[in-house]
Chains A and B, each alone.
Chain A
């Protein structure tokens, strides 16, 4: 069974989590062109390697950030947005 380290609840099975997509910075809509806004809305990095992602621990309602290798499926570390950190 795959285990993910929730920064609040510690190691929990994958089934308790929900994937929330890549972490991205939202530009200020009024200050960018349509093309730049479209790039933000649609485009993703999608490259093999380590990416920063949002994950949600459903049982406790915790959103947090995970750095994960999207080829080996290895969680490098998990931490709250701007807060506490836990080594995966």
Chain B
């Protein structure tokens, strides 16, 4: 076997690309240029081809596909949001996720775990009841459970949180809450789009966007100019570097969000546990590692550096909740960028510039929205009109004072 592998490695003529082709150079013109090769951008390319037959599309990625928010989140999928607009949108996303492995013919390890949002105070329990009622009204499986039920479902949990915090009063329980292999979502969309004829250009950076008479006419990249009438910016944490190119103002500010994984353990935690008061969410991956994230870094920063402060904080909170983890080691840590909006909802759809579409403001809720945002953005590009599900999320909501206050978002204090 090693001999065959070695021969394969030195062979100039590989049988076929594993997931997608690497086109040699950019064409002069595309119908659509998508900036950002994450799940959202690649997904939009995939649905443009599948649902609308638009295949003369280039996805331009500055780094490598799935290397931004797509590969840096904690892979949680859920729909128990607080607003009608949000819950409806994320529920549609879950429904697409549930069928995605089959559609891609690629195992996304989509695993329904049940999602707990712990309440450490009566006030927090009240918000969760409100969320549960909104969810039930929209047909989303969600309910409030008491401390004894939490203990029954997650026996390792310390309901007293080590005495450092007020004890667990209950939890919002969302059985369809799931985890998935996040980079495979990007690969699945990339392969599907590639097979339909979409070009994926990695290591290619957009340097400017050419506008004439309030309409997009092309994109400058470090590998030359491309003529196009439609540009989708799907770069999440890097959006504030793109919007000045078209003179668009947004409410986005960028904060890093850090995460860690522990050394692998035998399976013991088959649920996703979130505590807003402890700034913690944790699940166990298929490899046995505990994947844990926290709240946003406390000040604006467009950098994916890691800090010891964070590791100390997240470790101490993990031990508050699960005292038996005292001797477990943290294996790695990383950060991703969160482009935060003031109302914790995304910014999606058309903009005042003809042919410039935005898919941003993904803060801490981007991965779970990948399939539905890709699908609705593809519809928006193809029809040049905001898809009905994303109308409330248009950038113009800020000048109209019609915010979508989404307090069900992760890392948001209640």
Q: Which residues of A contact B (CB under 8 A)?
A: 15, 18-19, 22, 34-35, 38-39, 42-48, 51, 53, 70-73
Contact = CB atoms under 8 A, between A and B. Distances in A.
Contact of A48 (B302, B342, B398): B302
Interface string B97-126: 000000000000000000000000000000
A19 B299 contact: yes
A43 B398 contact: yes
B241 interface: yes
Contacts of A46: 240, 250, 252-254, 300, 339
B251 A47 contact: no
Interface of B: 240-241, 244, 249-254, 298-303, 305, 309, 339, 342, 398-401
B398 A71 contact: no
Given A42-B398, A48-B241, A72 B250 contact: no
Contacts of A22: 253, 300
B398 A38 contact: yes
Nearest to A39: B249
- What is the interface of chain B mostly: helix, strand, loop, or mixed? loop
A48 B62 CA distance: 16
Contacts of B301: 70-71, 73
B395 to A, nearest CB: 10
B305 A38 contact: no
A19 B400 CA distance: 28
Contacts of A43: 249-251, 398
What are the 3 A-B residue pairs with the smallest beta carbon separation, nearest first?
A19-B299, A46-B240, A42-B251
B191 to A, nearest CB: 32
A47 B244 contact: yes
B138 to A, nearest CB: 28
A39 B303 CA distance: 26
A35 B241 contact: no
Contacts of A71: 301-303
A34 B302 CA distance: 31
A72 B303 contact: yes
B342 A42 contact: yes
A60 B225 CA distance: 54
Contacts of B240: 45-48
23 contacts: A19-B298, A19-B300, A22-B253, A22-B300, A34-B399, A34-B401, A35-B399, A38-B401, A39-B249, A39-B399, A42-B342, A42-B398, A43-B251, A43-B398, A44-B252, A46-B339, A47-B244, A48-B302, A70-B301, A70-B302, A71-B302, A71-B303, A72-B303
Contacts of B299: 19, 53
Given A48-B302, A72-B303, A38 B250 contact: no
A53 B249 CA distance: 18
B276 to A, nearest CB: 20
Given A42-B251, A42-B342, A47 B303 contact: no
A71 to B, nearest CB: 5
